[in-house]
A and B are shown apart, each in its own frame.
Chain A
Amino acid sequence: MANNSETEALETRKIVEEDEESEEEEETIDDWGDWRDDDDEEEEDSESGFLCLFCDANYSSCDAIFEHCRLSHHFDFHSIKTALGLDFYSSFKLINYVRSQVAENRCWSCRLTCQSNQDLQSHLHETVNFRDIQLFCGDDKYLKPFLQEDKLLYSFSDDDEGEDDYITSLDKEEVMKDLRQFEDICIDDENTVKKFESETCSANENGKKVSSTSNGHLNIASSSGTAIINGLDSSGVGPSEEKANGKDSRVSLVNLAAKDIKKVNESYFGSYSSFGIHREMISDKVRTDAYRQAILENPSCLKGAVVMDVGCGTGILSLFAAQAGASRVIAVEASEKMAAVATQIAKDNGLWRSRPQSEGNEQSTGVMEVVQCMVEEVGKSLQIQPHSVDVLVSEWMGYCLLYESMLSSVLFARDRWLKPGGAILPDTATMFVAGFGRGGTSLPFWDNVYGLNMSCIGKELVQDAARFPIVDIVADNDVVTNAVLLQTFDLASMKPDEVDFTASAELEPKLGGLESNSIKSNSTTWCYGVVLWFETGFTSRFCKEKPIVLSTSPYIPKTHWSQTIFTFREPIAMASGNFSANKTEAIGTDTCPAGRIHLRVSIARAVEHRSIDISLETTGIGSDGRKRSWPVQIFNLS
């Protein structure tokens, strides 16, 4: 039974932990030591829990759950039962009735419909009129279990007595796991996601704000001992973050968990944005069409193949691979939430391949399976031989190609799982650079604002821009130099550490074409900075029937990657041909424009994970061969 003082103590402790981030490491372990016991059998048995009627808390006993419902949700099963004199069947119906109402976010007692489970949770109140409830749940349809395998239905009657003795026994590891899931739970606002119920045996996703969650959670810990939270992961927890979790020792897991709690608010918000990106990516026709064609129109590569999709997201690439006739598709996704969605989508489309070891009442007709883990850990959750995958497919590219990119995970998967000579889609990635003119800045706008000269604001903005890379679209006619290949990656052969690179490029003024009347030959053009973009190739090496290039250049329809803009501290004048330069003037000025700009670009993964540092060294070369170098500019894309 719940011991209130213990609960409170724990809550207090929790708050302390949140405040003393640096110290909780040892302290937490000591704290939890009290709870440790030699009871290991519960540890893995998350299926065996009794699911709360209102939230996704899971308990080891009926009593624990009813106590939790009474304390947290104003639902006092025993009082209601007594007040109404409910027999077994009526009680049975009551449980099913309440579950059915909660699923629709309706209050079981006053029948108010809330917009979300979260709203419902805060709405729940003491029972007002018992008689109404008897009326509501009298219907025989509630004899049908609302949840499949609802253990509560089969146990509530036989544990009337002899409560009290649920010794709190928490495995340390489990506690840590739960702690880590704090973030997940808090983000789990998706109370409407009924689809997940069957997966997780949870009636409702529990969506709560930090404080209420931690309360609920600790109640669980103290009242039953087996705190199993079916928190579905947030997609906000990125693979790299989880990687850190996986590698670190348990001690630091606790540390991390506490930090995660602190970060909850940010992540809570963040999870929505990361969800939004899936729609944006799928709606990005340039991207999705390129992958779709590469996968569907190259049967010699895909037909009968074993395919691994690294970071599958919604699973769309895996589904394409299944449609293309792959014999087996392993979709790897680190985010629990997205993995659950991908699984459901695979099932809905009849492409799900149920695993041999599962009980499998559904016929396995499909070829696709979703593995929820880091790609580094696929072997732990799946029977798979090293070097047994024929095709590795992934959409790993980030802004400026390498920002938050999953390239290293793809390379890991290649080295571990791909057959020698196996295919990687895409198999090349190329970065390009070009100079942009005044139109690529916000200067033109400020020249004349309602007849006023506000150019000083434009200048200020451009100076600011010299410190931050900007992800945005550059119009093709604002590109004032040739486009130059900066770096090429061959995914089939590159080494993981080759992701960081330094490369050079030489920019020359674009010759006056039809479009660019402003750049007549021999006239000066101002280069305000450089723009970077990338292409990935599905080359004929593996895509024999239909090689494809996915480009994010300014010359093709825009993609969600846009381009990445790096602004110079001051614009550089350029001119092609033999400009009669004033030899006393500095290169790159109006009277002595540069004939070429030599760039040296380095891109390296920054210490802060996910972000990248870009350094830009710029040298103007006059038509007479004189050079002028500007101080190096460092940009951080984060």
Chain B
Amino acid sequence: MYSNMGYSNGHHQQQERVTTHRDRVRRGGRRSRESLRVSEHQQQQQQQQTERKPTTPCTDFDVAYFHSYAHVGIHEEMIKDRVRTDTYRAAIMQHQSSIEGKVVVDVGCGTGILSIFCAQAGAKRVYAVDASDIAVQASEVVKANNLSDKVIVLHGRVEDVEIDEEVDVIISEWMGYMLLYESMLGSVITARDRWLKRGGLILPSTATLYMAPVTHPDRYGESIDFWRNVYGIDMSAMMSLAKQCAFEEPCVETIMGENVLTWPHVVKHVDCYSIQIEELESITTSFNFKSMMRAPLHGFAFWFDVEFSGPAISTINNHVPSVIASSNNHPMDGFQKKKRANPNETLVLSTAPEDPPTHWQQTLIYFYDPIEVEQDQQIEGSVILSQSKENARFMNIHLEYASGGRSFVKESVMR
């Protein structure tokens, strides 16, 4: 009977929030996508769990729509992402010398947790800016933790609020799915251009979006082969619909390192000190992978990492953009960069498949039908990421790829 189960209704509910809680919606986007897509993946797992906690991120398909942020809370989910929060906290401590006694602005502060970390690290003053109503709560949180004298919550857009001094540090957790989907990078750029002192610090300082070919027979099987035998009934008539349903749009889900067929390719490197908003409108890259094994190629995965390095290093980058540009052509570069693990060196928050999972997971673009690739077989093509004309919040992904003498085009929209 659920054939007409009210997505649209749930949608309205979300819409309603669009107008009032910008930030929540942004996060809501993350969250609902996640619940939507991961649900199938995790359902069986979930069902086996006998212990059910209400705070487990809900994986129920429709729950995402009915489940207002009010219950579990999007911010809760993000804060629970320990990889994210711990890395930010560690980065703040690592740069304590640049923060102590200084003025900080936290762009899109949410619950205010990063602002409070900065205050704890000795910041003279922290401006916590958020356009959504969560700012009211952030202000309460600051009060409850006796930091009202140091943390000033500003409820409004970065473009609109006034700060009557230059700031030494910008901190922000602006990254969206696939790095740029619904990201707040634009607000960070605005804050930088409005308030940051020369030589000031931006955390994170750089961000890199990667892509790699992946094989994922289990996922394919669960979504598609499932219909071959349902309670002994042949339901393969559903398979083409199932493919359409499962693979038309990008999927946000967690894969493993072993799903990745070869070294990743750098799609876009962002230096937060120098990036201009125009660069983000459309991103084009060409790739050429060589599969390291024989496997069915099911699609491409995208993920990102961000670095928390000091201004000095990035200033160099700033002056020598060609260094970065050249790294685009050498996937190995990006990969090695990410692999640096020395605690004295730059801290990296990675959302790569081989690293601990985060709430960003990975973004996958699956093919409707897999391509069998041999070891060393080339997979080449190009990707264009651009803002959708249909809805500025959406991201169009135009993917062309060829392997084994056959070429394909896949258009998808990240909604």
Task: Give the B-binding residues of A (Cβ under 8 A).
Answer: 112-116, 118-119, 122-123, 189-190, 192-195, 235-241, 263, 265-267, 269-270, 272-283, 285, 288, 292, 311, 313-314, 316, 319-320, 333-335, 337-338, 341, 344-345, 348-349, 394-399, 404-406, 439-442, 444-446, 449-450, 452-457, 460-462, 464-465, 468-476, 478, 557-558, 560, 562, 565, 610-611, 637-638
Contact = CB atoms under 8 A, between A and B. Distances in A.
B4 to A, nearest CB: 3
A108 to B, nearest CB: 15
B285 interface: no
Contacts of A280: 39-40, 43, 61
B339 interface: no
Contact of B8 (A266, A283, A285, A349): A266
B233 A345 contact: yes
Given A285-B47, A450-B89, A611-B9, A460 B137 contact: yes
Contacts of A404: 1-2, 4-6
A616 to B, nearest CB: 17
Contact of B1 (A396, A470, A471, A474): A396
A440 B4 contact: no
Contacts of B89: 450
Contacts of B249: 272
Interface string B15-41: 000000000000000000000100110
Contact of A464 (B68, B368, B407): B68
Given A461-B73, A474-B54, A638-B13, A192 B67 contact: no
Nearest to A193: B240
Given A348-B237, A399-B66, A450-B113, A470 B71 contact: yes
Given A116-B244, A279-B242, A478-B54, 4 more contacts: A192-B243, A273-B36, A319-B233, A460-B136
A115 B54 contact: no
Interface size class of B (residues with CB under 8 A): 35 or more
Contacts of A113: 406-408
Nearest to A350: B234
A395 B5 CA distance: 13
A119 B409 contact: yes
29 contacts: A113-B407, A114-B409, A116-B244, A189-B248, A192-B243, A193-B240, A240-B4, A266-B8, A273-B7, A274-B7, A275-B245, A278-B238, A313-B2, A337-B241, A348-B236, A398-B2, A404-B4, A441-B54, A442-B54, A452-B145, A456-B141, A461-B69, A464-B68, A468-B66, A471-B63, A471-B66, A471-B67, A475-B52, A562-B60
Contact of B141 (A273, A338, A453): A453
Contacts of A562: 60, 63
A610 B408 contact: no
Nearest to A564: B66
Given A449-B113, A452-B141, A190 B76 contact: no
Contacts of B2: 274, 277-278, 281, 313, 398, 404
B240 A190 contact: yes
A336 to B, nearest CB: 11
B393 interface: no
B9 A638 contact: yes
What are the 3 A-B residue pairs with the smallest beta carbon separation, nearest first?
A238-B4, A344-B237, A464-B70
A316 to B, nearest CB: 7
B128 to A, nearest CB: 13
A625 to B, nearest CB: 34
A470 B40 CA distance: 21
A274 B73 contact: no
A461 B231 contact: no
Interface in B386-406: 390, 406
Nearest to B71: A470
Contact of B368 (A116, A405, A478): A116
B3 A338 contact: yes
A442 B8 contact: no
B135 to A, nearest CB: 12
A277 B61 contact: yes
Interface centre among B61, B75, B237 (most CB of A within 10 A): B237
B410 A119 contact: yes
B47 A465 contact: no
A372 to B, nearest CB: 12
Nearest to B12: A638
Contacts of B79: 449-450
Contacts of A478: 54
B350 interface: no
Nearest to B234: A348
A440 B240 contact: no
A453 B144 CA distance: 6
A276 B237 contact: no
Contacts of B54: 439-442, 472-475, 478
B226 interface: yes
Contact of A314 (B13, B55, B238): B238
Contacts of A276: 36, 40, 61, 245
Contact of A610 (B6, B39, B390): B6
Interface centre among A190, A273, A462 (most CB of B within 10 A): A273
Contact of B76 (A442, A468, A474, A610): A442
B380 interface: no
A202 B137 CA distance: 57
B64 to A, nearest CB: 9
B9 A610 contact: yes
Nearest to B16: A468
A267 B68 CA distance: 21
B113 A341 contact: no
A344 B51 CA distance: 40
B234 A349 contact: yes
Contacts of A398: 1-2, 5
Contacts of B58: 472-473
A457 B40 CA distance: 31
Contacts of A349: 233-234
A285 B48 CA distance: 11
